Structure 1
Amino acid sequence: MSVRTMKSGVVTDEIYAKGHENITARHRTTLEITRDAEITPRGDCIVGVRADKSVKDLDEEIKRRIRERAKLKISLILPDYGKEISFHASGSEKLELSHPTDVVIRKSGYTCPRTLAINSEIASADMDREFADLLRDRKTTVILRIEV
């Protein structure tokens, strides 16, 4: 999907990813989507693989707004199941948004090239377990929608 600017001035982008049998979604402080095709159970923050974008690939307007310390609304959507989880996180001028494979959302204020947002309301462990279990199927599509 290309970036959309809504009448309200909100800019939206989406990252499409797939499920994987090793997704556990048990990390207490982070949530991640990766372009990597394979993961081990040790990657307990990962909620999607084979993503079509990383933070590096996001539109420059979205990146600019995130770096202006914008408040982000982030949604994880399972279109095949009609399920969605939405939460808020913060941008920061410290965010590089330059990693070629990963998108990481953090409860803490820690930043690195992989970080999309900080001070998140949730991490992967906070997800509804039924939602997380659906991510364990490689056929499951998960959409990470970013609204700034």
Structure 2
Amino acid sequence: MGLAMMVASEIVRAKGHPNITAKHKTTMEITKDYDLTVRGDCIIGVDADKAALDLSSKFKEALRLPGNLLYVVLESGGFREHLIAHCSRDIGATDPRRIIIRRSNFIEPATIGVYATKAAGDLDRRLINSLKSSDAVLTVRLYVLRLDDVEPVNA
């Protein structure tokens, strides 16, 4: 038996921007907005092709099962980052502009994962530096994993 089973997945593509700083310590955001000021220090991608509202019904249903985990892979400029967040029955994923992953348990319409292992400020600076170009493409692979069937390891 495997350790986890994927129950849903999505791919989101966004672009880089010269004002991406990714310094925020508790959140990470991808937005459909085209412009970005340096105050948006949680934003890692702009002009995204999807927001929380655009995610499939199957994916959103999987996000609402508390036993599930959200596994996130970020790729740009030949660099890759991974993080894990928890799912929650309170996730609505209805925001028409943004996707947010949080270290905390705060949930609002853009939130798709809580208690994340990383926020924007924790990401590899080489990945973030690659996103400072308007020509950069950020690929965000989102996987919801079910861990209910994991058996304990015998000592």
Counterpart contact for 2:7–2:62, Cα < 8 Å: no
CA-CA distance at 1:36 after TM superposition: 0.1
In the superposition, the TM-score normalised over structure 2's length comes to: 0.87
In the superposition, the TM-score normalised over structure 1's length comes to: 0.91
Q: How many equivalent pairs are there? A: 139
CA-CA distance at 1:82 after TM superposition: 2.4
Please name the residue that 1:68 is paired with: 65
Please name the residue that 2:137 is paired with: 141
Partner deviation per Cα, 1:14-54 (whole Å, 9 max, x = no partner): 00000000000000000000000001000000000000000
Is 1:40–2:8 an aligned residue pair? no
Q: Which AA in structure 1 matches 2:40? A: G
Distance 1:27 1:9 in 2: 29
Q: Which AA in structure 2 matches 1:71? A: L
Distance 1:9 1:45 in 2: 27
CA-CA distance at 1:111 after TM superposition: 0.2
Distance 2:62 2:101 in 1: 16
Structure 1 alignment gaps of length 5 or more:
1-7
Give the fraction of aligned pairs with identical amino acids, expressed as a percent: 35
- Equivalent position to 1:107, from 103, 112, 116: 103
* Consecutive aligned runs of 4 or more in structure 1 exceeding 4 Å deviation: none
Distance 1:110 1:93 in 2: 12
State the Cα RMSD in Å: 0.9
Q: Which AA in structure 1 matches 2:7? A: V
CA-CA distance at 1:9 after TM superposition: 4.3
Distance 2:29 2:71 in 1: 16
Partner deviation per Cα, 1:51-89 (whole Å, 9 max, x = no partner): 0000000011110010012101101111xx322101100
Highest CA radius of gyration, 1 or 2?
2
Structure 2 alignment gaps of length 5 or more:
145-155
Distance 2:78 2:41 in 1: 24
